[in-house]
Amino acid sequence: MMADSEKAVLVQGLTKVFGGQEVLKGVNLEVPGGSVFALFGPNGAGKTTTLKIILNLLQPTGGKIEVLGMDGVARSQEIRSKVGYQPETPNFYYRARVENIFSLCRSLYPRWNQARVDRYCDIFDLPVRGRVSDLSKGKMTLLGMALAVGPDPELLLLDEPFTGLDPLRRRQLLQLLVEEMAGEGRTILVSSHQIQDMERIADRVAFMVRGRVILSRTVDELLRDEKKIRAAFSGPAPEGMEGWPGVRRVEREGSRLLVTVSGQVEEVAGRLSGYDGAACEGIDQTLEDIFINYAGEGLING
């Protein structure tokens, strides 16, 4: 496994053009070794494209990619022997039996942990002798997960790993990811819309909007620095607050103000308290709130 200080994935200035349309516009991403890294973004932000380029399924138009310390394009085959990948839409030979798919993958990888795969099959109730075409959407997702963890990967790339899963299975999967994969020091890079679920397990997050990474930080830092302050005033409310350092947005709630603050929470709260008859209350934000703030601004500002 990689040391925490090493970068499992390093993406610099990544661009991708599809049919004249620039889908990735200089993506920069650093995923530390051994971390659980969540990539959030609205539909069409470029998350799947980024993951596919990391795996060299898509060819980059420009920029630099290093995966597990290796050049992402020149040594892609070697990289793929150490990476487990679950695609957004799992594709298999539909007429094949599940056990045949396992058998094929076992023979393709230099290492294959069949004991782990068997255990996942038991936990997920996967019909090993059944045909792939008979599986439900959720079971397909779980089969994709069992295949992704089979090669004992150093890096796990998961693209919407909770698609079609009920809350029970989702919880099971999260527990397995945390206890087993992250517990063994493997790096996990997840693209997901299930922000609440990911908040429980992610160490770091990045927000992608319209082909750019607009923010990349640890979850703890983000939850500490991104707050809202609800302020009521007996006298007139301060003007031009949008220009204050650290203030991202000011919304009116009747006579009160709801101020979204980034980083300088203490300073803004102190400044507000200085106004005549001001009463301030700090409100914690969830990762989903923070994402919506940033992604919403990113979409509006382009």
Partner 1 sequence: MVNGPLMKLMFKRFAWIYWFILAFWLVGWGGIILGTTADVSFNIEKHPFFSIGLFIALIWGAGIFTREFRQGGMMEFVMARPVSRGEFYNTVLLSAAIPMMSLMFMPVLYTITLYPWYHYTLPLDRQLLMCLAAGAWVVVILLLGINIGLFAAVHSRGRYGRAVSAFILAVLVAVFMNISVGVQPVPGSTDWMSLQHPLPALAAALLPAALLYYLGRRRVERMDI
Residue type, 176: L
Using the minimum distance from each CB to partner 1, give the nearer residue, 147 or 165: 147
Which residues of this chain interact with partner 1, rule CB under 8 A?
18-20, 52, 55, 57-59, 77-78, 80-81, 85, 87, 89-94, 96, 100, 104-105, 107-110
Q: How far is the CB of 78 from partner 1 (least distance, A)?
A: 7
Q: Strand order of the sheet with strand 279-284?
A: 247-253, 256-262, 226-232, 279-284
Contact status, residue 87 vs residue 144, Cβ threshold 8 Å: yes
Q: How far is the CB of 88 from partner 1 (least distance, A)?
A: 10
CA–CA distance, 299 with 62 (Å, rounded to integer): 24
Write out the two tokens for 140. 């397909």
The SS3 assignment for 197 reads helix
Using the minimum distance from each CB to partner 1, give the nearer residue, 85 or 291: 85
Using the minimum distance from each CB to partner 1, give the nearer residue, 139 or 228: 139
Q: How far is the CB of 27 from partner 1 (least distance, A)?
A: 16
Q: How far is the CB of 156 from partner 1 (least distance, A)?
A: 12
Contact status, residue 256 vs residue 210, Cβ threshold 8 Å: no
Using the minimum distance from each CB to partner 1, give the nearer residue, 87 or 298: 87
Angle at 228 between CA 224 and CA 232, to 5 degrees: 140
Contacts of 139 (CB under 8 A, 6+ apart): 124, 126, 127
Phi and psi angles of residue 107, each rounded to the nearest 5 degrees, phi first: -85, -15
- What length is written for the chain? 302
Using the minimum distance from each CB to partner 1, give the nearer residue, 16 or 210: 16
Write out the two tokens for 112. 């294959």
Q: How far is the CB of 15 from partner 1 (least distance, A)?
A: 14
The strand pair at 247-253 and 83-86 is best described as unpaired
Using the minimum distance from each CB to partner 1, give the nearer residue, 133 or 175: 133
Contact status, residue 258 vs residue 285, Cβ threshold 8 Å: no
Using the minimum distance from each CB to partner 1, give the nearer residue, 148 or 259: 148
Name the CA radius of gyration of the chain, rounded.
Answer: 22
Q: How far is the CB of 124 from partner 1 (least distance, A)?
A: 19
Q: How far is the CB of 144 from partner 1 (least distance, A)?
A: 10
